[in-house]
Structure 1
Amino acid sequence: MLYSFISCFRKKRVGYAARSFFITAVLLLAGCAVTTEPARDVATPAKDELPKIDPKVTASYEAALSAMRAGKTAQAEKALQQLTTEYPNYSGPQANLGILYFQQNELEKAKAAFQASLKINPKNVVSLNHLGIISRGAGEFEQARTYYEKALQIDPDYAYAHLNFGILLELYMGKLPEALEHYQQYQKLTPEEDVEVKKWIVDLGRRAKK
């Protein structure tokens, strides 16, 4: 009975953090390092350093993201693949293609897309975060740790990397004090308090003192 409870608890927590977030910033389309909200974009070059983007490209990219949000998987995949072919120097389409495959549980395809995104832009923290999740699921805990640490070196305020790193440290590596720090940091970086993570912090705080 106890094992069943712990197993369900672990699955709930892992599933909670594995939710994907769409990358909508135009800067990511341009291959610059950006993060999803609420993290601060610390690695973005000055505006005059950014490449000029054809409005048609931006429109196509937004259309692909709209298809993703609407659950039109085939349409979104086709649009993103076309963008990766026509504009191979932009990391955004590859990263979102990875998220699309990730959501469909096609993890090998997702991994390949995220890695392709990193070849274009090694500072793409969204791709690093998702590769961490994929590595964790494959039992490659040290590799997952490397991905999360790299993401946080690039952007220390990237909330989702803190969240997933905390889960890795707590549930898979038994490093409770470190996990607690990352959960607390995640909570500080989110615009609204995450009620679920608040419970984790209280629970982990008690266990870490034992």
Structure 2
Amino acid sequence: MTRLIRIFAVLLIIATVAGCSAGPPPMRSSQSAAKSALTEFDNALVLMKSGDSQSAIQAFLALSERHPRATGPLTNLGILAARQQQQESAAKYFLAALQRDAQNVTALNWMGFVTSKSGNFTGALDWYTKALAVRGDYAPAHLNLGILYETVFKRGDQALEHYRRYQELTGGDNMLVSAWIHNLESASDYVAVNMSQVNR
């Protein structure tokens, strides 16, 4: 049950941290066209944040059509699909975004998320690791790796490393992650202090 609570908690954290982090389409046309596209993208993000998913989907689809090299619209379409529990559709959008830009850390991180939802935790680990290979200071991937290491792979030391890095990168304000760090540190201290008793 604790593991299920932890996984649910990370869903909320991911939605907050990464929900709208995919950037606007790259602009190579005139200044007025670039400004117009940025405005459209910002409007789509407002729709997404307000919970008007259907309108946001239509807006991002239109942007993706008009800007075939852009990754932001596809990434946000994937996030919207993932939030609606449409993991296959989400994966298709993220993979399409990664075909356009293999270094899209938001898409890499979310691919880890949808892969873990299917139960493929080793695959999820690979996606999160790829995100950090692109950008070592990408906080959501550190958080997701910490959770996987702790809850699935039972590697507390590696989980601690990623939780601490996440807190460092985000200002240490996440009380839930602070509690996880404390619990792991306490468990490690207990084992260290009592090791001599175990060996007798």
Taking structure 1 as the reference length, what is the TM-score of the superposition? 0.82
Q: 2:10 aligned with 1:17, yes or no? A: yes
- The answer for the alignment partner of 1:34 in structure 2 is none
- The answer for the alignment partner of 2:195 in structure 1 is none
Superposed displacement of residue 134, structure 1:
1.3
Q: Residue 55 of structure 1 is aligned with which of 2, 15, 35?
A: 35
Q: Which has the larger radius of gyration?
A: 2
Looking at structure 2, the residues matched to 22 and 115 of structure 1 have their Cα atoms a distance apart, in angstroms, of 17
Superposed displacement of residue 24, structure 1:
5.1
- The answer for the alignment partner of 1:29 in structure 2 is 24
Superposed displacement of residue 125, structure 1:
0.7
Q: 2:97 aligned with 1:117, yes or no? A: yes
Give the secondary-structure state (helix, strand or coil) at the position aligned to 2:136. coil
Q: Deviations over 1:169-205 (max 9, x none)?
A: 1111111110110001001011352111000001111
Taking structure 2 as the reference length, what is the TM-score of the superposition? 0.86
Give the secondary-structure state (helix, strand or coil) at the position aligned to 1:89. coil
Structure with bigger helix share is 2
Looking at structure 2, the residues matched to 141 and 208 of structure 1 have their Cα atoms a distance apart, in angstroms, of 24
Letter in 1 for 2:154: G
Preserved contact between residue 165 and residue 179 of structure 1 (Cα < 8 Å): yes
Structure of greater relative contact order (alpha carbons < 8 Å, 6+ residues apart): 1
Preserved contact between residue 24 and residue 65 of structure 1 (Cα < 8 Å): no
Q: 2:71 aligned with 1:74, yes or no? A: no
Letter in 2 for 1:29: P
Q: 2:199 aligned with 1:206, yes or no? A: no
Sequence identity (%) = 33
Gaps spanning 5+ residues in structure 1: where?
1-6, 32-49
Looking at structure 2, the residues matched to 131 and 24 of structure 1 have their Cα atoms a distance apart, in angstroms, of 14
Preserved contact between residue 74 and residue 93 of structure 2 (Cα < 8 Å): yes
Letter in 2 for 1:191: G
